[in-house]
Amino acid sequence: MSQSRTYQVRTYGCQMNVHDSERLSGLLEDAGYARAAEDTAADIVVFNTCAVRENADNRLYGNLGHLRPVKDANPGMQIAVGGCLAQKDRGEIVRRAPWVDVVFGTHNIGSLPTLLERARVQREAQVEIAEALEHFPSTLPSRRESAYAAWVSISVGCNNTCTFCIVPALRGKEKDRRPGDVLAEVRALVEEGVTEVTLLGQNVNAYGSEFGDRQAFSKLLRACGEIEGLERVRFTSPHPRDFTDDVIEAMAQTPNVMPQLHMPLQSGSSKVLKDMRRSYRQERFLGIVEKVRAAMPQAAITTDIIVGFPGETEEDFEQTLHVVRESRFAMAFTFQYSKRPGTPAATMDDQVPPEVVKERYQRLVALQDQISWEENQKLIGREVELMVSEGEGKKDGEHRRLSGRAPDNRLVHFAVGDSEEPRPGDMVTVEVTYAAPHHLVADSGIRNLRRTRAGDAWDARQGKPVQVSKPDVLLGMPKIGVPEEQPAPVGGCCDA
């Protein structure tokens, strides 16, 4: 195989898919392929698909259709389709799009280079869908997108049976990694310069169920707190059913576990939750929110909500609005219910008319935007420490703005002014000057810049000479006296 062949991976869906795509890129580079430059045609295009939304099929086949004339003009080009939609549709993809060369499932992403070579030699499509996990994603080579932040998979699959969700059928039963393997990967990442990790699982706080330790997840969080150089730990997505007090205590007592919680609600109606087979009720969800706020007043809580699930009445929807008002979510990812073939909900009676779903959805979004804006306004005048991020905001020429994430994962666009420009992965302290529903602005200048090993790692990726950063570089005058109590800096999968 020529060393000059290039690849491109197009990712759809949740953080699990993002992590899998990093592995697919690593596998291809291990096999001798090079990442295609921006705005150039790649020799190999890989679609890592999602099957959660109703239009996922249309989106995939539309994109495949756009590539057909490109491939016709470049006979050596190969197209591969993987991920949840590939696991679901299997041979149907090649039937509908016979110009596809490889179809592989969620359990055998490690087979991609072999399948591509086999398709090239045999000159026929290769479809390989494993029914069980071949390799844990984190045991495969990786080309990580970020030098400073990394996904770490602690489990794959899901043992729940939510009636709207097709993920368990496509990802399989839950499989847990041993804690020692997880921590070894985290330590290795920190050695490479990573300072933030996000622990991933379809149902992340059910971790340990496979090896019989109900407190395995809280122990894992505490163990992450003992890793020197690891500044920020996040996780997604937990299930309210499995959210125990020991996890809340571990979050509150482990300094590098961030004050952020993304916990899917789906519906505020206990009746709808029962129909969804969500195994908790409104009271249970609100009780967890209350405990989290008591332990971490500064925590930002975000959620997922489905509007228009079959049988949802106006009264049921009002219960969802009630939970939104009570919970004061920093942000909510809201979805209009759509049928997924193969799920129990798709054949339920009392499907809600689309116009009713749309009207309710608009009311929910308006309410949540108002709450998000009000919560963000409370942060005006507060200092927050940001990890400078890459690709999350456009540089503003007039203000020299960059972007970063607060501990609670709120997105903040901040002005650099005449200060030294920080690198992605560096830490800056800024004062919030403006609030919008989905972001904050800090135009008061950088109060403190801390150059980090993560920033050094980013420099190394750019081919820049790396000088080991000093612990702190102060810009501007430090404040005198006792620091003010910090408010909620905040945060944004698979749903559990």
Which residues carry a binding-site annotation for [4Fe-4S] cluster? Answer: 14, 50, 84, 158, 162, 165
Pair 77, 45: CB distance under 8 Å: yes
What is d(CA 468, CA 459) in angstroms, rounded to the nearest whole number?
A: 11
Q: What does the DSSP assignment read for 114-142?
A: HHHHHHHHHTS-EEE--SS-SS-GGGS--
Distances, alpha carbon 171 to alpha carbons 51, 61, 80, 103, 379, in Å: 11, 22, 19, 16, 40
Pair 115, 76: CB distance under 8 Å: no
What is d(CA 385, CA 130) in angstroms, rounded to the nearest whole number?
A: 45
Q: Tokens 């020299």 correspond to what residue?
A: 400
Distances, alpha carbon 461 to alpha carbons 163, 192, 249, 466, in Å: 44, 11, 37, 10
Binding-site sequence positions: 14, 50, 84, 158, 162, 165
What dihedral do alpha carbons 289, 293, 294, 295 form, nearest 10°?
100
Residues 152-180, buried b or exposed e (16+ Cβ, 10 A)?
Answer: bbbbbbbebebbbbbbbbbbbebbbbebe
User: What angle is formed at CA 328 by the lines to CA 325 and CA 329, rounded to 5 degrees?
Assistant: 120
What is d(CA 109, CA 91) in angstroms, rounded to the nearest whole number?
A: 17
Name the residue among 414, 145, 160, 113 with its Cα closest to residue 273.
160
Name the residue among 28, 23, 25 with its Cα closest to residue 1.
28
What is d(CA 278, CA 270) in angstroms, rounded to the nearest whole number?
A: 9
Residues listed for the chain: 496
Pair 112, 102: CB distance under 8 Å: yes
What is d(CA 326, CA 419) in angstroms, rounded to the nearest whole number?
A: 42
Tokens for 147?
């030098």
- Coil, strand or helix at 405: strand
